[in-house]
Amino acid sequence: MKRYKTLEDAQIELIELLEEEGQFRGTIEELAERLSVKPQDVKPLLNLLKSSGDIVYEEHGEELIVAPAVGTAFIPPTLPEEHRKEVEEKVSRGYKLIACSTMGGVQSRELRSALGKRVIVYFRNGSRIEAKLKGFDRFCLKLRNYMGNMLVYKHAVSTIVYKP
């Protein structure tokens, strides 16, 4: 019996495939085979990545064309001075920095690599939260810590750091 990947693993693999090859042209079944997912899971996967601003795709009959989204703007984060030194110290110890804008391929790639890991989220109002990153979309982050699940809106976030 064939083992299928989770949708999270398939997301990462599709982004890596597009980074290597530039685009995918073929049928849904061919893409499902390349990503080791069920054919019925391809459409939800594509819609999820499209909504996060990572990809664009078109269907022409049986042919599917998937390409990375281009032209996303990067907005430099604002960080209160009291947190700037702490972030610099964490980065010097090997933590990875994720700068948040409202959307973008680079941001989504970094957030996917941080999925399931402990992150420190710095907010524009000066507060911070340490939690495990459970998921994200174009506008929100889903976090979990000792207080339970949290939904954080990205517009309130200044910076995110995590240990790779």
pLDDT tens for 72-87 read 333 344 566 777 778 7
Average pLDDT over residues 69-73: 50
Q: Where are the chain's structural domains?
A: 7-68, 81-162
Instruction: Single out the residue of 112, 93, 95 nearest to residue 55, CA to CA.
Output: 112
- Return the CATH architecture of domain 81-162: Roll (2.30)
Average pLDDT along the chain? 79
Residue that has been written with the tokens 């073929």 in this structure: 26
Confidence of residue 58 (pLDDT cuts 50, 70, 90): confident
Neighbours of 58 (CB within 10 A): 9
pLDDT tens for 114-135 read 888 999 999 988 899 999 998 8
Pair of tokens at residue 110: 């970094």
pTM above 0.75, yes or no: no
Average pLDDT over residues 41-57: 82
Say which CATH topology domain 7-68 has.
Arc Repressor Mutant, subunit A (1.10.10)
Q: What is the pLDDT of residue 107?
A: 76
Q: What percent of the chain has pLDDT over 90?
A: 16
Pair of tokens at residue 42: 């391809």
- Say if CB 57 and CB 47 are below 8 A apart: no
